[in-house]
Amino acid sequence: MTNHKTINKEHVVNVAAKLFFEKGFIYTSMDEIVRVSKVSKSNVYYHFSNKEELLDAVIDFWISSYQKDLEIALSQTELSVKEKILLFLDNLSTGIEERDYQGGCPFITLAMQAPNDTTSVKEKISYFFTSLTSVCENLIREGIEKKEFKEEIDAPEVASLFITNLEGALFLAEIKKDNSIITTTAKQLFKLLV
């Protein structure tokens, strides 16, 4: 059973994520988060003693969100590797559109906004990208085994290339307000792999 404090904590994290994208971490005050979330100041500070702790929770929120989307895509055993990747990218595209193209890649957006002394945020983001690259490597290897991709492909290099292209596509989707860039970029990369 979820209690009221947990619901308030999740709500505060969601509101903070939105405000950090709209106004920036530096320009968003804890008082504004309290006001917009309509959660009492004492309850907000019960969960987060400062804005940096809240930023840490926002990063955790995005990691969890991406991991859920990945798990959904990876669990679709009847799909080809390309279809699994496109399913994941479709979920990312929908999320970007739902937040009105703010924070194309939440990790890069928040890493750039984070104060230099918030090492835990940068470490979490670095770990997330290492993990995401590993998942991509495994998918590329699966694609090679299933004869979807060329046999001579270097899975680690292609995985790094894919992540780099994805980040660029997320940035462009945000700037151009066109989330089709995300799947179009992936489909073009797939053409190089077959």
How does residue 153 score in pLDDT terms, banded at 50, 70 and 90? very high
Distance, CA of 21 to CA of 103 (rounded, Å): 5
Helix (H), strand (E) at residue 81: helix 81-98
pTM confidence score:
0.85
49: Cβ contacts below 8 Å, ≥ 6 apart: none
Q: What is the CA radius of gyration of the chain?
A: 18
Q: Following DSSP, what letter does each residue of 49-67 receive, concatenated?
A: SSHHHHHHHHHHHHHHHHH
Summarize pLDDT for 64-113 with one digit per residue, the tens: 988 999 999 999 999 999 999 999 999 888 888 888 777 778 888 888 88
* Per-residue model confidence as pLDDT tens digits over 15-54: 999 999 888 899 999 999 999 999 999 999 999 999 999 9
Contact call for residues 101 and 173 (beta carbons, < 8 A): yes
